[in-house]
Amino acid sequence: MLIVVTSSAQVMESFKILLLCVAAAIIYGILHDQVTAHLCVEYFTIGHPPIFPTTNPTLLAFGWGITATWWVGVLLGVPLLLASRAGRRPKLTARHLAKRVALLMACAGILAAGAGVVGFFAASSGELVLLGPLAGLMPADKHVLFLTDACAHTVSYAAGFILGIELCVSTWKKRGLMERAATPKPASPF
């Protein structure tokens, strides 16, 4: 039988890591949605279920920025807190991880912006088209901007997922390097 003894400080540090990830995801989501909601409010009013009874892009960006990202923060936070705290290796704190989480969000934002630009040009040239029921619901003059938003959002989630895995793996590896560096080397007989 395995008995785990955890101090309140260890629990608090794990909570801080989870909170860091959730807060970073929400802040990222709100900023991302401020851009995309102001670019094409119909992406949120027609392309999403009517959860928020407003067409104000700023309010929609806050509402969807929280609703669509808090769970992403949890999905990043739980594996990251395990990668940074589980086992006997030296433990990392939320402070150690803050810059790397911010870098992850910045990289996801840059990739999302790039995808939005590519989506805009692809939709403008007719290479990317809106099909299905949304095509009929969306005003024709909004198709290009809707697809621009869709590309940015899709790549944002994909980048967050891939970069999140990389962050967890590199965090685990960093702890291994810290462990090896802290292990005393046997004295040489010479």
More confident residue, 102 or 2: 102
- Which range, of 27-36, 47-56, 75-84, averages the lowest pLDDT? 47-56
d(CA 131, CA 138): 10
d(CA 158, CA 135): 24
Which structure tokens are listed for 177? 């390097």
Cα 150 to Cα 35, 54, 143: the distances in Å are 12, 20, 10
Q: Which residue has the tokens 């292990």?
A: 183
pTM equals 0.89
d(CA 82, CA 165): 12
- Following DSSP, what letter does each residue of 44-83 receive, concatenated? HHTSS---S----HHHHHHHHHHHTTHHHHHHHHHHHHHH
Identify the pLDDT of residue 171. Answer: 97
**What is the tens place of the pLDDT at every residue in 48-65?**
998 889 999 999 999 999
Identify the pLDDT of residue 118. Answer: 98
Identify the pLDDT of residue 3. Answer: 47
Identify the pLDDT of residue 10. Answer: 87
Q: Which amino acid is at 109?
A: G
**What is the tens place of the pLDDT at every residue in 103-151?**
999 999 999 999 999 999 999 999 999 999 999 999 999 999 999 999 9
Q: Which amino acid is at 148?
A: T
Domain ranges of the chain: 9-180
